[in-house]
A and B are shown apart, each in its own frame.
Chain A
Amino acid sequence: MTFIKKTLASSIAIAATAAMAATAQAEISDGEVRIGYLADMSGTYRDLAGPGGLEALRMAVEDFGGNVNGAAIEVFSADDRNSADVGASTVREWIDTRNVDMVAGLVASSVTIAVTRVLEENNGFAIVSASAASSITNEHCTPNHIHWVYDTYPLANGTAKAIVDQGGDTWFMLTADYAFGHALEGDVTRVVEEAGGEVVGGVRHPFPTDDFSSYILQAQGSGAKIIGLANAGADTVNAISTAAQFGVVEAGQQLAGLLVFLNDVYAMGLDTTQGLLLTTGWYWNMDDEAREWSERYYERMGRMPTMVQAGIYSSTMHYLQAVEATNSDDPATVRAYMMEQPIDDFFARNGRLREDGRMVHDMYLAEVKSPADSTHEWDLYEILATIPAEEAYRPLSESQCKLVQN
């Protein structure tokens, strides 16, 4: 009884707000679409998004024609220096003084969570492309942001499951000692145990760590078949190089990098990384469409794009299309439209935007090529398998997001 009343009341309320939004906001505020790009431009995460992501964003705006229904598109950017308060205050200022319509980029999870809180309070909008934490569309979800490229859930789901299926059923976890590492470790442990494997030990190392030799030695002593790396960026790079020096692979153990970006593999070289299994949201050389876009990007940046940089282009395009179709830059209107449209482009396959703000799309299990198989300096991955969109991400039935009714 009460349930019916509640649903009835809420659906009326929703209809009313939608109608109001449609009438009041059916125009682009102050005749411009303003996109602010916020990312780490000078620190640890510079290479995976950074200036390259900004360039990808600019490409999207150019390809779109520079305006939406006659409203010019303006792009500005800021360096968040991986600091939550710098990020939050920058976005607050963009809202207060520059009337920003959409915030793009967003790398470090701490910055993203802080920024999305500010946006929720001020009814702004963001597309998160580079953050890893799956909590961004789970306990930290808001109606004012969506999460595009990847998160920790499919990373564990893809890599860990594939490895256990291949017989790698005992794991030793090297975990970065902060929330992201703990979350990834938790996800991996769950996936490994569900697949019939076992996590026999682990060590939580400080973030960041330069010297991994001690931890690698502990991993060797554990006798586990697989050493899982629940860390990111420089930590992963260091761990993998150190493992190579200590002959981990020769001694019969295998590494599983859970969050590895193209720029990491490029930096380490194929000698060190060959045979590494990883999950990625996209790879520049995976098919003709991807290649074609990547080559245009390469001409501008002199590097091949990471999945994050490609995702920034893809998400910006979809955002602009939604603004064009609805002739509005109101967050709720644009988001509602984006949720209706299937997402299929050079980046996302079988993509769709869920109500928790998660854009689910096909993910890929890849293996790093050996130097002999690689034909040129950016020929780094071999795609082994596709993880279907609906299996890759955390199911809505397990969601703690307040926008999802369970």
Chain B
Amino acid sequence: MTMIFGVPFAVFMGQLMLGLINGAFYALLSLGLAVIFGLLKIVNFAHGAMYMLGAFATLLGMRYLGINYWAALLLAPLVVGLFGMVIERLLLRRIGHLDHLYGLLLTFGLALIFEGTLVNFFGVSGARYPTPEALQGGFQLGFMFLPVYRAWVLLAALVVCLGTWFIIERTRLGAYLRAGTENPALMQSFGVNVPLLITLTYGFGVALAAFAGVLAAPLYPVSPTMGSNLLIVVFAVVVIGGMGSILGAVLTGLGMGLIEGLTKVYYPEAANTVIFLVMILVLLIRPAGLFGKEA
């Protein structure tokens, strides 16, 4: 058998594939964070909780309302997105004029509330969400067995990431958004409703997290704490990519998935830590992240 750095070629390729899939997850989550940071300048510590809420909306929707996976794919992000808009309107707006660190602290508090409350109702063991029938089974790729559902996650995440990128870079709405990021006061004077834009942006960013939550529901047990450990990893991804950079978030997400995948083969104990090492190195060499603009 061909070996790569002491690992069979098949295993090596399989690991790259899985790393890419995890990377797609990171990309989706960090994209939402980056969009929010770009306009609101808030580090959304509640992002992990929103991802969790997306998964819970999917689970509970099926359990109590009979909503299937495909409908949930649309409805869960919508519901969580609206919920996010309410939060923005009622809470975040009131501290918009303050140091951005307050936004970080406020959302941190919100995350504690959401997670803690759900723990009291659903416990922590997590519930399983069935893989939708159309996506069961797997492909035999030769070097590995790839479950259809994982392939679908990769595809769906990439399509949504590209779609978001397209909206922001190529449409009028996106142009407003970018302009709002650069100079909100000027936009306001041009008659653009900036507060509304901010509300929509937060809602959209949160909806992306919820979408990732729906994708995650059949993969991981749906539990109230599913987002909290993922959160700081995704932070690291956004920081490495350059805060607020859309392209940076997506590419870094994929890249970090690959790096983490390889770490799992060569030094598995450090799989949760490697990303922070990369972050420190990147920030020391490029202070604004790989794709960020120097302030």
Contact = CB atoms under 8 A, between A and B. Distances in A.
Interface in B251-295: 261, 264-265, 268-273
A218 B267 CA distance: 13
Interface stretch (B144-152, B178-186, B234-242): B144-152
Interface residues of B, number: 43
A234 B22 contact: no
B62 interface: no
B220 A210 contact: yes
Contacts, number: 108
A213 B128 contact: no
A206 B223 contact: no
Contacts of B268: 177, 203-206, 214-215
B10 interface: yes
Contacts of B226: 210
Given A221-B8, A234-B221, A269 B128 contact: yes
A251 B268 CA distance: 24
B18 A209 contact: no
A76 interface: no
A43 B123 CA distance: 8
Given A205-B268, A209-B272, A268-B128, A42 B119 contact: yes
A47 B128 contact: no
B230 interface: yes
Contact of B150 (A43, A213, A269): A213
Interface of B: 8, 10-11, 14-15, 18-19, 21-22, 116, 119-120, 123-128, 130-131, 138, 144-145, 147, 149-150, 219-221, 223, 225-226, 229-230, 261, 264-265, 268-273
26 contacts: A42-B120, A47-B123, A47-B124, A177-B268, A203-B268, A206-B272, A206-B273, A211-B220, A213-B21, A213-B22, A214-B265, A215-B264, A215-B268, A217-B144, A221-B14, A234-B221, A241-B219, A241-B221, A245-B131, A245-B149, A245-B219, A263-B123, A264-B125, A266-B125, A267-B128, A268-B128
Interface of A: 42-44, 46-47, 177, 203-206, 208-211, 213-215, 217-218, 220-221, 233-234, 237-238, 241-242, 245-247, 251, 263-264, 266-269, 271-272
